[in-house]
Structure 1
Amino acid sequence: MTIAFYLDQARKKNLYCRLSDGSAQIAFPLGYTVEADRWDRDWQETTPEDPHFLTLGSFRSYLDRRYHELCGLAVPVATVLATLKHEAQTWIATSGLDGIAQALFDDQNSSRQLPAYTAFLRAFEAYSGHSPADYTAHPKGSLVGFRTRDGFEFDLDTYAGLSGRLADWFEQRDLEAIGIQT
C-alpha cells in the first residue's frame, strides 16, 4: 500500500491523504491547513516545524500497521482502504487532525497505563490557567507538547511515561539516551 499526503490548493483546509494499492485507491481530507512554508514539496509531507509533523508520521505508521492487520484477515483491498478512511474520518469529525493525534496517543500509550490525551489537556489548563483557545497541543510519544499563543513551549510528562521510555532505552541498550535523561 502507498500512503501519500498532498495539498489541494483550492481548499482552505488543504491537507489530504491518499491510500492506494494496485488499482484500488481512496482519498480523504484531513481537516487541516498546511502553511506553504511548512510543506516539503520534495518529500510530499509537512516540515518538522509544523505542529502536526509527528502526528502525521504516527498516522502513516498506524495506517500501514492497520492495513496489514486487515489484509491478514483476507479482507478485499477495496474494503480495507474504505475501512481505513472510515476510521480516520471518525477521528477527524470531532476535532480534525487533533482527533487523530488524540486517538493515536491513547492507542499507543494505553499499554503503559498513561492517562488519556484529554487528561493531559485538562491538567495543562488547570495548572497553567490557559484555555483551549490559548494553546495548541501535540503528542510526542508518551508526553504531550504545548505551545501557547505568546510563544512559550511546554512538555507535560508523567512518571509512567518516563518509566516506559527508560525501560525502552534499557531494552534497546541506548546508552546515549539513558545518559542524557538521567
Structure 2
Amino acid sequence: MEISYYLNGEQVDNLYCSIIEERKKVSFSLGYTVMPENWNSKDGNLSNEDIYFFTLIRFKEYLIKKYDKLKKRREVDVLACLKDEVFALTEEYGIEGIARMLFDEANKDTDIPKYDDFIYAFEKFSNLKRNEYRVEVWDYLIHFHTKNDVYEMDTYEGKIRQLKDLIENKSYDEIVILTDENIWKEIYIDGGIAKSLFLSTMLAQWEDYWYRQFEEEGKPTGKANRLKEAKEQSWRAFQVYLECYDSEINVIGLAYSIDSFILYPIAVLAMMNCFDKDCCYSEYCEAEFNDSSWECLVLDNIEEDEGPYFYIRTYEDE
C-alpha cells in the first residue's frame, strides 16, 4: 500500500491524496488550495512554512494505521472505506476537519480539551467569525492566525502533557527549545537538592546521554571518532561545571551558561529525577501561565472553578 500527496491542477481545492494497493487506486481531495510556491514537489508535501505541513505528515501515519486496522477486520473494500472517511472529515471545513480529528484522536486519553472547545474559547476572546481566522494545530496546543496577528492558546493539561513527553523521552533538544530555563531555575531553588545527590544524578544522566549518542549515531553512521571528540569536550565542560558548582545558587542557569545544548537539558533531567515530577509539572505551569503575557479564558458554559482554563497570548516566533 502506497500513500502520496499531489496537486490536481484541474481543481480549486487542488491538494489531493492517492492510495494505491496492488492494482487498486483511489484519489480524493483533502479540501485545501495550495499555491505553487507552498508546494515541495520533491518531497510530495507542503512547504514547512504552511500551517498544515505537520497535518499531512500525521495524516499519512493515521491512514496507514487505519488501513491495517481495516485489513484485520477484513473489510471488503478498504480503499473505499478510507476515501469515504476522508470525505466525511473534509466535507464541511476541508483540511481543517482532518486537523480537528487528528488533534482529538491524539489527545483522546488525556484531559486536554477538545478541538471545538479551543475554537469556542478563541471566538469568545476575539469576537471573530469562523472565516476570519485560520487554525494551526500543534501537538497539545493551537495557534490562531488572524489578519494582523497570530495567537497561541494553551492549557495546563496540554503543557503538562508536553513536559511529560519531553522528560520521559529525554528529548534534549526540545527541552532547550520548548521550555524556559528561568522556570526550571525557580523550581530547583524552591526545592533544593543535596549536592551529592544532584551531582551523582547528573553524572548518571550525562553518561546516559552519551550512551544514547553512540547507540543512535556512532554505529549506524560510522561517526564514532567524531562522537569521541565531542564527548571529551563535553566532559571538560562538565569539569568546569563541577568547579563552579559550590559558588552558584542557580545551578540550572550555570549549566545553561556553560553548555546550553548538553549540560543544561541533562541538569533539568537530573533535577526531575530528584523531585516529584507531577509537582514540578504543576509548578512549571503555574509559573508559565502567571506571566503577564497570558490572558486566562474560561468557557461560559461551565463553572469557573472547574475549568478547563484556556490561556492565550500573541505568538512571537523566536
Residue by residue over 1:109-130, the C-alpha shift from the partner in whole angstroms, topping out at 9 and shown as x without a partner, is: 1111211111111111212333
Q: How does 1:103-118 map to 2 (within 5 A)?
A: 103-118=101-116
Question: Letter of the aligned partner of 2:69 in structure 1?
Answer: E
Residue of structure 1 equivalent to 2:95: 97
CA RMSD of aligned residues (A): 1.5
2:34 aligned with 1:27, yes or no? no
Gap change, CA 1:176 and 1:75, over 3 Å in 2:
same
> Structure 2: how far apart are the matches of 1:119 and 1:92?
19
Q: Secondary structure at the match of 1:31?
A: coil
How many Å apart are 1:16 and its aligned residue? 0.8
> Structure 2: how far apart are the matches of 1:74 and 1:133?
41
Residue of structure 1 equivalent to 2:46: 46
Question: Letter of the aligned partner of 2:114 in structure 1?
Answer: A
Residue of structure 2 equivalent to 1:141: 139
TM-score (norm 1): 0.92
Moved more, 130-139 or 95-104: 130-139
Residue by residue over 1:42-75, the C-alpha shift from the partner in whole angstroms, topping out at 9 and shown as x without a partner, is: 1111101122112111211110111112222333
Q: Secondary structure at the match of 2:50?
A: coil
Gap change, CA 1:167 and 1:35, over 3 Å in 2:
same
Residue of structure 2 equivalent to 1:171: 168
Residue by residue over 1:148-180, the C-alpha shift from the partner in whole angstroms, topping out at 9 and shown as x without a partner, is: 112x11211111111111111122112343344
Residue of structure 2 equivalent to 1:83: 81
> Structure 1: how far apart are the matches of 2:105 and 2:65?
13
Q: Which structure 1 residue ranges, 5 or more long, are not aligned?
A: none
> Structure 1: how far apart are the matches of 2:43 and 2:169?
29
> Structure 2: how far apart are the matches of 1:40 and 1:65?
25
Residue by residue over 1:15-63, the C-alpha shift from the partner in whole angstroms, topping out at 9 and shown as x without a partner, is: 1110012111111111211011000111111101122112111211110
Residue of structure 1 equivalent to 2:151: 154
Higher Cα radius of gyration: 2
Identity of aligned residues (%): 33
> Structure 1: how far apart are the matches of 2:74 and 2:131?
45
Runs of 4+ displaced beyond 6 Å: none
> Structure 2: how far apart are the matches of 1:25 and 1:97?
21
> Structure 2: how far apart are the matches of 1:59 and 1:42?
19
Greater strand fraction, Structure 1 or Structure 2:
1
2:52 aligned with 1:55, yes or no? no
Residue of structure 1 equivalent to 2:127: 129
Q: Which structure 2 residue ranges, 5 or more long, are not aligned?
A: 181-318
How many Å apart are 1:132 and its aligned residue? 2.1
Question: Letter of the aligned partner of 2:84 in structure 1?
Answer: H
Question: Letter of the aligned partner of 2:164 in structure 1?
Answer: A
Q: Secondary structure at the match of 1:98?
A: helix
Q: Secondary structure at the match of 1:94?
A: coil
Residue by residue over 1:125-147, the C-alpha shift from the partner in whole angstroms, topping out at 9 and shown as x without a partner, is: 21233332321012111111111
Gap change, CA 1:176 and 1:16, over 3 Å in 2:
closer
Q: Secondary structure at the match of 1:154?
A: strand
> Structure 2: how far apart are the matches of 1:179 and 1:29?
39
Q: Secondary structure at the match of 2:99?
A: helix
Count, aligned residues: 179
> Structure 2: how far apart are the matches of 1:25 and 1:16?
13
Residue of structure 1 equivalent to 2:257: none
Q: Secondary structure at the match of 2:107?
A: helix
> Structure 2: how far apart are the matches of 1:71 and 1:172?
31
